[in-house]
Amino acid sequence: AAEEIVFGNITTGASGDLQKATDFAEQMVTTYGMSKVLGPLAYERRGQGGFLSNEGVNPRRLVSEKTAEAIDNEVKEIVEKAHQQALDILNHNRYLLENLSQQILEKEVIEGEDLYEFLKEVRSPWDKTVN
């Protein structure tokens, strides 16, 4: 999301992050039952490894086309909502994003107390209290 804010688009550098976000959202829906639409059900089969097993095959192939479509839609909604929240947080804290970028350019690494000091200043765009 930071690339999108600073450069105006998403580059290939974000592909790993997008894949992780998608995988995590899919696990939320198919493994942990964290679904508004499908309810508290698990769609992943566990413990069926072995020769000629379905291990490594997309577990959604074991569900109906309608259920697979519902899973896809919910995963898409989760990732899009998280993306929008990241944009909102970064836009709300744009000055910190710029400052942190400058510090990284100067020092190459920000860690420990320096990072903690930056993170203490992050403000939620949804916080209605005035500081």
Residue 19 inside a domain? The answer is yes
Structural domain of residue 32, as residue ranges? 2-92
**Amino acid at site 25:** A
**Residues of the chain above pLDDT 90, percent:** 47
Structure tokens at 60: 């959604």
Has residue 11 got a pLDDT over 80? no
* Residues 49, 97: Cα–Cα separation, whole Å: 45
pLDDT of residue 45: 60
- Residues 36-88 pLDDT 10s: 999 999 886 654 454 555 555 555 557 888 999 999 999 999 999 999 999 99
What are the start-end ranges of the H helices in 58-129?
65-92, 94-107, 112-120
Higher pLDDT, 7 or 109: 109
* Residues 31, 26: Cα–Cα separation, whole Å: 8
Higher pLDDT, 18 or 54: 18
CATH number of residue 14's parent domain:
1.20.58.760
Residue 71 inside a domain? The answer is yes
Has residue 9 got a pLDDT over 80? no
How many other CB atoms are there within 10 angstroms of residue 75's CB atom? Answer: 22
Q: Between helices 65-92 and 15-30, what is the axis angle to 10°?
A: 130
Residue 21 inside a domain? The answer is yes
Contact 34, 26 (CB under 8 A): no
Residue 7 inside a domain? The answer is yes
pLDDT of residue 25: 96
Has residue 130 got a pLDDT over 80? no
Count of the separate structural domains present in the chain: 1
- Predicted model pTM: 0.75
* Residues 123, 93: Cα–Cα separation, whole Å: 7
Residue 40 inside a domain? The answer is yes
Residue 59 inside a domain? The answer is yes
- Residues 108-117 pLDDT 10s: 998 899 889 8
pLDDT of residue 6: 73
Residue 88 inside a domain? The answer is yes
Residue 28 inside a domain? The answer is yes
Question: Is 30 exposed, middle or buried (CB count within 10 Å of its CB: 0-12, 13-18, 19+)?
Answer: buried
* Residues 54, 80: Cα–Cα separation, whole Å: 30
